[in-house]
Structure 1
Amino acid sequence: MGFDFLHPLDQELVAYVQTQSSQNLGSKVVLHTQTDFPDLDKVQIAIVGVLENRGASNQMSEIDLTAIRKEFYSLYPGNWQASIADLGDIRSGDELSDTYFALKTVVAALIKKKIIPFIIGGSQDLTFAMYRAYDNLDQMVNLVSIDSKFDLGKENATDMASSYLTRMIIEEPNNLFNYSVLGYQTYFNPQEEIDLMDKLYFEGYRLGEVTANISITEPVFRDADIVSVDLTSIQTSSSGNFITFTPNGFNGKEICSLARYAGISDKVSLFGIFNHNSSKQESVLIAQIIWYFVEGFQYRSNEYPFSAKDNYFKYIVPLEQEELVFYKSDQTERWWIEVPQIIHSHTKTQKNTLLPCSYEDYLGAINQEIPERWWKMQRKSII
């Protein structure tokens, strides 16, 4: 199954967890120890550390995830029924490609068992290995990155962490259908990359746009398979990261809200958080990000994929040359818009597509404004 790549938790950490109160998270999580491996048939979310940062040009110090785990296990759970396991760490291989292979194998095995891997890295190029885990799962992939940059570097760049998306686009098999960036900062991105995002009909949301109305990201997460978080997208005053000083970025409340949206999404099957600088301050924030993701997971409504449309209100909005069809859930009051049936040049996407959207998209359509996400989806789907 590929779980041989996982190394058990350090005995010191296990001993720490055992000292926690029965009410703390530490007593609720099943641990991979020197003597025991969790029964995965009883697990819904699996935490996996990846001790690899060679994909970044400015390599961080040696990765230590102990403080994150201690902080997380000392928290108290919400009113949860979610079963969580900590499967330990994937250590760096002889070559960077060896680590990629190990991560890809572990993630694929967990997803096949319908377990959500929560990956804590290392450098963000590990997102590429996570994406490759879907190669044999017969589906196209939507990736959401919480990042200040697009990571669309040159194909032959030595810094994989700043160019992993280019490899996703170029290398076969090409499973990437949509890529969305939340919180990008224009002065960190060359104009040619901004133009390429538009040309590929990918989605970019500027930092100010998201922080002004964070709820606009909910439909984006609802359509995501993978969520990748670059911790340098969080401002230093919230993260405590003074190694990579970030004056502008998401604050602690905002990044936790985004993590909760990701957890709520019925479709998100993989979450990764990267570029941890191993500081005590940042460990506290990461622990809370994990907490909010699990909190969101607890409130999944299982509306994806659609079951019977009898549970949804249908709204038809006539435009000048066509009509837009919206659906509203009578359970959660969330909205979807129908993308017209298109014959695709590949076999991995469905012909009938329902795209998550917002109530504001519906109101805009009434005023004869075509939703931008709907338009981009149409352009991508045409042969």
Structure 2
Amino acid sequence: MNLEDILILPRPIQTEKWQLGHTILNEIQENAIVLVFCSDYRGIENGDAEILDFKKVRNELYRLSKLDFEIPVCDLGDLISGKSHQDTHYILQEVLSACHTKNAIPVIIGGSNDLAFSLFSALDFHQKNNNYTQISNLISLANDGEELTEKNFLSRILSSKKFSIKNYHHLGYQKHLNEMDSVKLMKEVEFDVVRLAELMNTTEKTEPFFRHADLVTLNCDAVESMGDGFSVNPQVNGLNKREICAYMKEIGLSQKLKSVGIFNFNANSRHFLNHQLLAQMIWHLIEGINIQKSHPAERSYETYWLMIDDNKYAFQRETFSDLWYFGADENEEDLIPCSLSDYEAAKRGFMNPRLLKI
């Protein structure tokens, strides 16, 4: 399958030399960030695949500063939706596979939240034991129907025998919108489930859930809406503008990031600020990826031992980034990302249960 047959290249946008758009390419480069915009929303109730115009988002994104970014940014354009929603999933996985083959990071923008299934499937084909972090206000574990939807895609990822998942973290769920049995089940199988309230104001406590993430997807329903809605299912409660940009940067700072999805965006919004917000979210993601790539490959650690009752625990601080880990192992793969507040609480005798369950 030729990518030229399934993608519509973006129209040229005039920019100045200091702006990001001046450096954006239109074909996949090695080790690049690859943007793909999608119009297929058939995974939501009454959703369709009408061709959408993302020019407003591009206008805003292209005119932001390129700073000293060194990683190439490619905009492949708009994905042509398949005849069926399942066809779109297949087509998208072809694009994703082409990106992974060149060690590029695909960023899929638009489309319904179930497209996360394709992101996980394509990544699982190239590597196993992936860490998946999702920001979404809903936890839906429905397993009905043959078609993939935003209600059943997560259960299909977690229950599939062909997939290999190491960790799953669900951030930003809202109690009043969820069936408590789903939340309870997630906790029973020891997946991390974090309420919206714990994400607000600061990223410190929840940053560890992004640090080793291979795949991160964002359901825009988890973002506070304004005007006619930032998402296709607008919510009065959610992460605010500053918080979601801060989290996009944290996603980019992941040490293992391979793929990103930003779904359920309301591309038909008449409010200019919604398109501007999405553009700035993408920019902060790009900034985070560039910062992470500038970090030294070799890391050194300071180890701090604590005695709690009759038990001895080790916390380690990475000296360059000032990030904290739990465990005494010399192999970082076997350490559990944690926060400074986890260490401070342990000094007072309280161990975060998340650290002890592994």
**TM-score, length-normalised on structure 1?**
0.84
Structure 2 counterpart of 1:191: 180
Q: Does residue 1:98 correspond to 2:114, yes or no?
A: no
Report SS of the residue matched to 1:160.
Answer: coil
Contact preservation (8 Å) 1:61, 1:277: no
**CA 1:29–1:242 in 2, change beyond 3 Å: closer, same or farther?**
closer
The 3 A distance-change label for structure 1 pair 239 and 131 is farther
Matched, 1:371 2:352: yes
SS of 1:179's partner is strand
CA 1:240 to 1:80, structure 2 compared with 1: closer, same or farther past 3 Å?
same
Q: Aligned to 1:298, which of 290, 311, 334?
A: 290
Deviations 1:139-173 (A, max 9, x none): 21221111111132234376711221100011221
Counterpart selection for 2:131 from 142, 145, 149: 142
When structure 1 is superposed on structure 2, of 203-212 and 234-243 the one drifting more is 234-243
1:272 matches 2:230: no
| 2:211 is the alignment partner of 1:216 | no
Aligned partners of 1:238 and 1:326: how far apart in 2?
Answer: 46
> One-letter code of the match for 1:295?
E
Shift in alpha-carbon separation, 1:177–1:156, aligned structure 2, 3 A: farther
* Aligned partner (choices 239, 264, 278) of residue 286 of structure 1: 278
- Local SS of the residue matching 1:182: strand
| Cα distance in structure 2, aligned partners of 1:234 and 1:141 | 25
Asked if 1:50 corresponds to 2:34, the answer is: no
1:109 match: 98
Matched to 2:139, the amino acid is F
| Alignment partner, residue 9 of structure 2 | 9
Tell me which residue corresponds to 1:30.
Answer: 25
Question: What SS does the aligned partner of 2:67 have?
Answer: coil
Amino acid at match of 1:371: N
The reply to whether residue 156 of structure 1 matches residue 154 of structure 2 is no
Match of 2:76 among 73, 77, 87: 87
Return the letter of the residue paired with 1:197: M
Q: Which residue number corresponds to residue 253 of structure 1?
A: 242
One-letter amino acid of the structure 2 residue matched with residue 244 of structure 1: N
Say yes or no: does 1:201 pair with 2:178. Answer: no
Would the aligned equivalents of 1:157 and 1:163 in 2 still touch at CA under 8 Å? no
Q: Assess, with a 3 A threshold, how the Cα gap between structure 1 residues 99 and 27 changes in structure 2: closer, same or farther.
A: same
- Match of residue 358 from structure 1: 339
Paired with 1:3 and 1:99, the residues of 2 have a C-alpha distance of 13
Partner of 1:136, secondary structure, is helix
Partner secondary structure for residue 217 of structure 1: coil
Query: Does the Cα contact within 8 Å between 1:339 and 1:355 map onto a contact in 2?
Result: no
* Structure 1 residue ranges without an equivalent (≥5): 32-37, 342-349, 379-383
Q: 1:247 to 1:157 in 2, by over 3 A?
A: farther
**Cα RMSD for the two superposed structures:** 2.6
Contact 1:60 1:277 in 2 (8 A): no
Distance 1:219 1:242 in 2: 26
From the superposition, tell whether residues 195 and 339 of structure 1 become closer, same or farther in structure 2 (CA, over 3 Å): farther
Distance 1:99 1:5, change over 3 A: farther
Give SS of 1:86's match: strand
CA distances 1:301-325 after superposition (whole Å, capped 9, x unpaired): 6769x846xx111122234454322
Residue identity in the other structure for 2:287: E
Question: Could you tell me how far 1:340 is from its partner in structure 2?
Answer: 7.4
Of 166, 173, 184, 2:162 maps to 173
Sort the Cα spacing of 1:181 and 1:368 in 2 relative to 1 into closer, same or farther, 3 A.
Answer: same
Taking the aligned partners of 1:257 and 1:351, their CA distance within structure 2 comes to: 25
C-alpha distance 243-174 of structure 1, shift in aligned 2 (>3 A): closer
- Listed as ranges, the matches of 1:41-80 within 5 Å are 41=30, 43-59=31-47, 62=50, 63-80=52-69
Contact 1:146/1:183, CA 8 A, preserved across alignment: yes
Q: Which amino acid is the alignment partner of residue 26 of structure 1?
A: G
- TM-score for the superposition, normalised by structure 2: 0.90
Distance in 1, Cα, partners of 2:197 & 2:176: 13
User: When the two structures are aligned, how many residues end up with a matched partner?
Assistant: 354
Q: Which stretches in structure 2 are left out of the alignment for 5+ residues?
A: none
1:314-351: CA deviation from partner (whole Å, max 9, x where unpaired):
1222344543222111111111112879xxxxxxxx99
2:292 counterpart SS class: coil
Q: Percent identity?
A: 29
2:291 aligned partner, one-letter code: Y
Tell me if the contact between 1:147 and 1:232 (Cα under 8 Å) persists in the aligned partners: yes
Rounded to whole Å, the distance in 2 between the matches of 1:239 and 1:265 is 32
Work out the CA distance in 1 between the residues paired with 2:79 and 2:262. Answer: 15
